[in-house]
Chain A
């Protein structure tokens, strides 16, 4: 078990966005999180690296690191939790004043203070891997959406996280650019990365994931292997959601 989440609760003011979420992520597994907008799936992902601080609950990692959110977090806990995961955003959020290479080296160089020659080699390797070896010195505005998102993935990989988080990584892309980003994620899957992906691409979720979670109104409605949740869902809400996505009228 890489990470075990227990009793995770998050509210924005009066509005409860996550209600008592329990969840296990196995080492090397890929978790796909699906559900209608406003179901809390993005908030769940953001809680995993404390971009949102949960109100209640507990994370337990396989190395014994444990965070309990019932009391205020210490800075050290936040730092350690963030080190464990890399985040890929829907709108990329690249640093516009830095080149693709500088976007990728920023974390290892400035935060982790690793030696410069080592970091540049690492960043070049990662950018080559995501197919941007020839674009390293371009600025984000000189790249297409798909290329920008691949830089986003490279930036997250460079901090050597144990868990990769993807928040609707292809939702902002033109349809013809979706494939190149999904391919990079599939490559990572084949390398054995542990990942959690919020997505609307059901076919992709089915192909790549080991476990699917369907969320609605801040709760996990159904979870299981992709063929079970996506092909023969047991709960009515899951069935309705899938029907609406597959046959939009």
Chain B
């Protein structure tokens, strides 16, 4: 057990290990990749992404072209190009013209922009799903647009948006595996590194898949709890 916690753990894994032994010995490095990179990458990108999404959604709901046009262009560009290409542009592309960004922040930027684009549509739709009467009632008691949005509309829209936002979140967990391609040593990158030494691709990639599955399973349980909590005071 003790040797599993050594920092140069990869060196202790060799090609002539048995299947079960290899599985056990590679578990900790992968979990470490998950804890150090996959999960922080997911959480930070999701929070930043939601902030971007809220701004974009409100811009798109405006009736002024100089707000709606940039917002639409942003959503179109991000949704219309592959995440892998975006990651490559931010890390390799910008690096090649002298604007070098480290792998981890590069990944944060790419994933945040992605969540921002996709979640903005979810937030926009859930704001639109709140009956017009709620805006009108807010106006008649004297509320400004931002007061109505903050105190009346968004709390209700949040409830509507939880299931689709959970989808985005779970997709994000899995998408972070793409960060392996820009050298972030997250969970899948660890699996790749070990597989490259032992040639046991099947075993290690299935092991990685199981770990992703466990993370997503736990997240969907949390989602159910949050949903149940927000459903408490809702008229049906």
Contact = CB atoms under 8 A, between A and B. Distances in A.
Closest 10 CB pairs of A and B: A107-B141, A141-B235, A93-B133, A93-B137, A87-B140, A111-B142, A139-B233, A96-B235, A97-B155, A159-B141
B101 to A, nearest CB: 41
B141 A155 contact: yes
Interface string A77-108: 00100110111010101111100000000110
14 contacts: A79-B142, A82-B140, A83-B142, A87-B136, A87-B137, A89-B133, A93-B133, A94-B137, A97-B156, A106-B151, A110-B143, A156-B140, A156-B141, A158-B141
B236 to A, nearest CB: 7
Interface of A: 49, 51, 79, 82-83, 85-87, 89, 91, 93-97, 106-107, 110-112, 139-141, 155-156, 158-159
A152 B223 CA distance: 34
Contacts of B14: none
Given A95-B152, A106-B151, A89 B136 contact: yes
A85 B151 CA distance: 21
Contacts of B137: 87, 89, 93-95, 155
B234 to A, nearest CB: 6
Nearest to B236: A141
Give the secondary structure class of B's interface: helix
Contacts of A51: 136, 139-140
Given A95-B152, A141-B234, A141-B236, A82 B139 contact: yes
A82 B142 contact: yes
A49 B140 contact: yes
B141 A111 contact: yes
A42 B155 CA distance: 29
Interface in B203-220: none
Interface of B: 131, 133-134, 136-137, 139-143, 147, 151-152, 155-156, 233-236
A123 B155 CA distance: 23
A246 B163 CA distance: 50
Contacts of A159: 141-142
B233 A96 contact: yes
Contact of A95 (B134, B140, B142): B134
A79 B140 CA distance: 9
Nearest to B158: A97
Which residue among B134, B137, B236 has the maximum number of chain A CB atoms within 10 Å of its CB? B137
Nearest to B133: A93
A164 to B, nearest CB: 11
Contacts of A111: 141-143, 147
Nearest to B137: A93
Contacts of B235: 96, 140-141
B233 A97 contact: yes
B133 A91 contact: yes
Contacts of B234: 96-97, 141
Contacts of B156: 96-97
Which residue among A85, A95, A107, A156 has the maximum number of chain B CB atoms within 10 Å of its CB? A95
A93 B236 CA distance: 14
A157 to B, nearest CB: 11
Contacts of B142: 79, 82-83, 107, 111-112, 159
B132 to A, nearest CB: 9
Nearest to B132: A93
Nearest to A85: B140
Given A82-B139, A83-B142, A89-B136, 9 more contacts: A49-B140, A51-B136, A82-B142, A87-B140, A93-B136, A96-B234, A155-B141, A159-B141, A159-B142
